[in-house]
A and B are shown apart, each in its own frame.
Chain A
Amino acid sequence: NAGVMQNPRHLVRRRGQEARLRCSPMKGHSHVYWYRQLPEEGLKFMVYLQKENIIDESGMPKERFSAEFPKEGPSILRIQQVVRGDSAAYFCASSRNGRLEQETQYFGPGTRLLVL
């Protein structure tokens, strides 16, 4: 019974390159959340997706960042033209039906992005 899977676990990019972070939710979960943890800070919400829909992207930077959760395959967080300030740990979480009172968000191990 695999948990939330994220890959890669570590990603190194040079400034200006693209970063693609993948998240496979737990089996039976159709809700995915992305959070970013900057050094010495707590996790900050970025985006909430259901299959093929973005429900809430209020935490996403307006430029260079995008997210998708296609009908088939993992959720992807894409960062174009990365800058040093994008260096952080990116965590994905999933839940079954999105109501936290009943369903817990389960977190993946995170992707540590380092921009050189």
Chain B
Amino acid sequence: GNSVTQMEGPVTLSEEAFLTINCTYTATGYPSLFWYVQYPGEGLQLLLKATKADDKGSNKGFEATYRKETTSFHLEKGSVQVSDSAVYFCALSEMGGGNKLTFGTGTQLKVEL
């Protein structure tokens, strides 16, 4: 079956540091890939997505590239801010998979001054 593996957190960075959160996936077909962000006490918000190999999703300074050869979708940001502190979830959905999302376990990011 489908699965998503994320690096464990928490990840603690200083403001303006470079961020990478690793995500790899296993899927039988050609999934769409997503990063969601969850701020404390809130629901998940879509951060970015990519629907086919070599696509790059980007939003609010975050980027992730769909790498089919390495089955990865790593999240990056060049300069994090305190306001980026949240839990980040990598997820996939598979064509014909009934529209359900398969999530990783989430990575907590803490950004300090």
Contacts and interface: CB of A to CB of B under 8 A. Distances in A.
Contacts of A108: 43
A109 B41 contact: yes
Interface of B: 4, 32, 36, 41-46, 49, 51, 89, 93, 98-106
Interface in A80-116: 91, 93, 95, 98-101, 104-110
15 contacts: A6-B43, A33-B101, A40-B105, A43-B89, A44-B103, A45-B102, A48-B100, A55-B99, A93-B44, A99-B99, A100-B99, A105-B46, A107-B45, A109-B41, A110-B43
Nearest to A98: B99
B98 A58 contact: yes
B100 A45 contact: yes
B100 A59 contact: yes
B41 to A, nearest CB: 7
Interface string A37-58: 0001111110010000001101
A91 B43 contact: yes
Interface residues of A, number: 31
Interface of A: 3-4, 6, 31, 33, 35, 40-45, 48, 55-56, 58-59, 91, 93, 95, 98-101, 104-110
A95 B100 CA distance: 11
A94 B103 CA distance: 16
Given A4-B43, A107-B43, A109-B43, A43 B101 contact: yes
Contacts of A44: 103
A33 B99 contact: yes
Contacts of A55: 98-99
B99 A48 contact: yes
B28 to A, nearest CB: 15
A16 B54 CA distance: 50
A6 B42 CA distance: 11
B32 A100 contact: yes
B92 to A, nearest CB: 10
A25 to B, nearest CB: 13
Contacts of B93: 100
